[in-house]
Structure 1
Amino acid sequence: MDDELDFIIDSAKEAMDSAILHLEKQLLNIRAGKATPAMLGSVRVDYYGSQTPLNQVANVNTPDARTLTIQPFEKNMITAIEKGIMQANLGFNPMNNGDSVIINVPPLTEERRRELAKQAKAEAEDAKIGVRNDRKNANQEIKKLDISEDLQKSAEADIQKLTDTYIEKIEKIFAIKEKEIMTV
């Protein structure tokens, strides 16, 4: 019986870990003032008829905190890259110099910072919901087991402690991101 309980708890922990990883990945897409290649992670480019991630057709670099340069592997891809960036609707205005695409990342306004902080908060809330759903699923699995009530209550308490730990981790991750966004 203990093996089944351990398996349920480990499965819940694994699911909660994936919620944290997903949150961290989503927060990377929310820019916080300085330019990073991850800002263009959602950009897709028409590469000979198929939609391809930007990082597979070009090198993305950050020469300074306010500039992104995109060096295509093939020169004829410059216009497709510009079009892909515009279609991604990231609020960037790409320019090309014939060899590469340059994006000047505008400084964030106070209003935009607040919007980004709200967006980050929404992502954190989604992660918390995911963790709570994982708790609910684990508790349902525990109830299905043919075990004593005391053992069941103990296992549910363990799941709750695990949930509280992960909710706390999510709040810390959000607090760090919010501070990063709001810092001018």
Structure 2
Amino acid sequence: MDPELTMMEADEAMTKAVEHAIHEFATVRTGKASPTLVENMDVHVMSYGSHMKMKQLAMITTPDARLIRIEPFDSSTLQDIDRAIRESRLGLNGSIEGKVIRLPIPALSQERREQMVKMCKSLGEDARVRVRSARRDALEALKKGEKDGHITEDDLHRMEKEIQTMTDKKIAEIDQHVVSKEKEILTV
């Protein structure tokens, strides 16, 4: 049992939790068009018989602040992409115009903005739980290492403090992202 490896694994797991939260925040609607709203959406493509990410199937652009334009690389996937958008939790309906899907982004009502803020806070809490879980796993591994005689009691206490500092830093980072996303959503 290598205590330094345990510390590195804990840091990596916490960093991944923060990155995942940032990625999830990008998929939350803010009232303005952004390709990140749809680019990681799973699309079941009938002709391929598998699930693929939207960004693998189409070129996604935002010609203006209220419109997302989706142009499939293969026009046979147009209906599959349209179905995926309609079935998503975004609540958007696109219109097919030739070989392109135009996805207008309506302005959010105050009630819908508040729902989006709640969703962001929930996503932030999920990320905090992941960070705390990584902390718990690291502490358990270190305590086992101390019990087995691989590290001293003093080293255990020092590493516990380091892990707690790391945890606090990552949770503060998540909180900062939640606040900035909340501000972005509430800005009319």
Whether TM-score is above 0.5 comes out as yes
1:47: how far off?
A: 4.4
Asked if 1 retains the 8 angstrom alpha-carbon contact of 2:29 and 2:90, the reply is no
Unaligned runs of 5+ in 2: none
Q: Which moved more, 1:125-134 or 1:146-155?
A: 146-155
1:78: how far off?
A: 3.0
Aligned Cα RMSD in Å?
A: 1.7
Identity of aligned residues (%): 35
Aligned residues: 182
Task: Give per-residue Cα distances to partners, 1:45-94, cap 9 Å, x unaligned.
Answer: 42413333222222111000100111122334333332222122421111
Assess, with a 3 A threshold, how the Cα gap between structure 1 residues 93 and 139 changes in structure 2: closer, same or farther.
same
Assess, with a 3 A threshold, how the Cα gap between structure 1 residues 142 and 79 changes in structure 2: closer, same or farther.
closer
TM-score normalised by L of structure 1: 0.91
* 1:92 counterpart SS class: coil
* 2:162 counterpart SS class: helix
Correspondence 1:13-162 to 2 at 5 A:
13-40=11-38, 41-48=40-47, 49-145=49-145, 146=149, 147-162=151-166
Task: Give per-residue Cα distances to partners, 1:94-137, cap 9 Å, x unaligned.
Answer: 11222311111001111111111111111111111111111111
Task: Give per-residue Cα distances to partners, 1:9-65, cap 9 Å, x unaligned.
Answer: 111111111111111111111111111111112141424133332222221110001
Asked if 2 retains the 8 angstrom alpha-carbon contact of 1:45 and 1:54, the reply is no
Task: Give per-residue Cα distances to partners, 1:131-177, cap 9 Å, x unaligned.
Answer: 11111111111111223322211111111111111111111111111
